[in-house]
Structures are given as C-alpha cells and as structure tokens.
Amino acid sequence: MENKMGYNASFAEEVFRNVDSGDEIKMCMNCGVCAASCPLREHMDYPPRQIFSLIRAGKREEVLGSQSIMLCTSCYTCVVKCPRSIPVMDVMHGLAHYALKKGYTPRIEAARFGKEFWNQVYRRGRVDERDLAQRAYFAGGFWEGVKKILEFADVGIKLVLHRRMKLIPEKKIKGISTLRKMLDKAEMLDKGRSVQ
C-alpha cells in the first residue's frame, strides 16, 4: 500500500524477495548505461535504470503498471554493457512476469507486441524481428501502423546495422512440432495447471 506521501516503503523488499533476479538491482549504481543503450528507450515510459530507481523509491504502481517491462525484446545490450554485471534483461522479464501474476495487464501496445512474439515463435520456431514489428504495429489498424513504422524507422535501421535484425523473412526451424509441444506445456504451467 502506498502511504500518504505516495510511496510504498516495502516495495523494494517485495521485489527483492519475489521477483526473479529482483535482488540483483541492489548492485545498480544508477549510471544510466542500460537506459542509454536500450534500442527501445525512446518508446519506454521508464527505461531500465528508471525502473530500478522507482523500485527503490517505492513506486509500486508505476513499476508494475509500466509498459517498459513488457516491451523488452531480450536484445542483451544492457546485459553486455552494465558496468555492475546486472542481468538487467532478466530483471525486466522477472518484473513483467510478476506484474502479470499480480493482475496487471500490459498496456495495449506492449500486449500486441508480446502476443505477436509468441505467435511467431509458435509458427516458425524463431522470431522475425522485422515481421514482428510490422505485425505488432498494424494490429491497431492500417494508418496507425504506418505512423508507427515511421517512428521506429531509426531503431530498425540500427538493429539491421548491428546484425540484430535481418531483412529477409525467417524460415521455419527444423522440428517445429517438438517445440510447439514444449510451448503448449509452458502455457499450461503458466496458467497454473499440472503437466505430466
């Protein structure tokens, strides 16, 4: 619960205890390298460093309700560059998972992005970054999609330049059916059901 000063004094402790890799942020020295290196920084309401600062400041609603934690694309840039060797990406995923468990629903854009990600992995066994972005943008209608693509153009170019995104569509992986079985099980587990 937030106190009347607007912060929740036990939120940091809650994160350290319950969020996967959550206690790693104790080592964060607030340098901003992750925030400045994340390819999605301009589209996040709070880039990673700010998320960590908000956790320390007890801003539970801002953190768990943020779109940033849902947007992380697992590109590893922050993990590679963090001077304190904090697995920033894992913390972001941990927070996203925790937020979902606590009943926070990802905001519409992040949700589209996540859903499309899942669909692609299910369909092809891999992610086609270019296609993923396009589908996620157009999910809100044609004109909105065009606008979004133009906004994201620079990020896309950077990803291509850093060989993190290819221009030709990805092919299906071998043994996709086995992967699908695994994904089905994972989904069951996530919903709290038992699997044999």
Partner 1 sequence: MADVQTTNQSILVVGGGMSGITSALEAAEAGYDVVLVEKNPYLGGRVAQLYQYFPKLCPPNCGLEINFRRMRQNSKIRFFTMAEVANISGSEGNYNVTIKLSPRYVNDKCTCCGKCSDACEAEIDNTFNFGMDKIKAAYLPHEFAFPMRYVIDPSIVETEDGKKCQEVCEYGAIELDMAESTFDLNVGAVVWAAGWNPYEAEKIDYYGFGEYPNVITNVMMERMASPNGPTQGKILRPSDGKEVKNIAFIQCAGSRDENHLPYCSGICCLASMKQATYVRERHPDCDISIFFIDIRALDRLEDFYTKVQEDEKIQFIKSKIANISEDEATGNLLLEGENTRTGEQLRMTFDMAVLATGMVPNKIDIAGAPEVAADEYGFVINDPEKAGIYGAGCVRRPTDVASSVADATSSAFKAIQSIARR
Judged by the rule CB under 8 A, the positions of this chain that interact with partner 1 are: 29-33, 35-37, 41-42, 47, 49-50, 81-85
Q: Is 165 in the site for ligand SF4 (CB under 6 A)?
A: no
Look at residues 158, 164, 148, 155 and name the one whose alpha carbon lies nearest to residue 109. 148
Query: Binding of ligand SF4 at residue 43 (CB under 6 A)?
Result: no
55 touches which of partner 1, ligand SF4, none (CB within 5 to 8 A by kind)? none
What is the C-alpha to C-alpha distance for residues 80 and 60, in angstroms, rounded to an integer?
27
Write the DSSP symbol of residue 143: H
Residues 91-110 that bind ligand SF4 (CB under 6 A): 92
Helical spans, DSSP H, in the chain: 11-18, 33-37, 48-56, 60-64, 68-71, 77-81, 88-101, 108-124, 129-138, 142-161, 176-190
DSSP per residue, 145-161: HHHHHHHHHHHHHHHHH
Give least dist CB 172 to ligand SF4, A.
Answer: 25
Shortest Cβ 54–partner 1 spacing (Å): 10
36 interacts with ligand SF4 by CB under 6 A: no
Q: Which residues bind ligand SF4 (CB under 6 A)?
A: 28-34, 37-38, 40, 48-49, 52, 72-78, 82-84, 86, 88-89, 92
